[in-house]
């Protein structure tokens, strides 16, 4: 018999939904090229996400190297 999934409290600081949100950010940058933070939030609908979810997902995408800040100050994918 398989074990039940862990309780949400054991998942740690990265919940499953943030991986989806990071993917939305990366796909938007891949499809549109470098974008400002505000334009990226507009394209992804991030301004309608729960409180600070967009900023959290974006910071994780940057920390994981899935996105970076260009010399011009826009966001892009490697």
What is the mean pLDDT of the segment spanning 51-63?
A: 94
Rg (CA), the chain: 14
**16 or 63, which is more confident:** 63
The answer to whether residue 31 is domain-embedded is yes
Number of domains observed in the structure of the chain: 1
pLDDT at 11 over 60: no
The answer to whether residue 18 is domain-embedded is no
- Alpha helices (runs of H) in the chain, residue ranges in sequence order: 16-32, 37-44, 53-63
What is the mean pLDDT of the segment spanning 48-76?
A: 95
**Domain of 32?**
25-53
- Choose among 43, 33, 44: nearest CA to 74: 33
């Amino acid at each position: 018999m398989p074990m039940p999934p862990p309780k949400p409290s054991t998942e740690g600081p990265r919940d499953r939904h943030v991986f989806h949100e990071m993917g939305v950010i990366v796909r938007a940058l891949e499809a549109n090229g470098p974008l400002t933070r505000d334009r990226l939030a507009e394209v992804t609908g991030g301004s309608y996400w729960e409180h600070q979810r967009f900023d959290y997902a974006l910071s994780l995408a940057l920390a994981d190297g899935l996105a970076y800040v260009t010399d011009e100050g826009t966001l892009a994918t490697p």
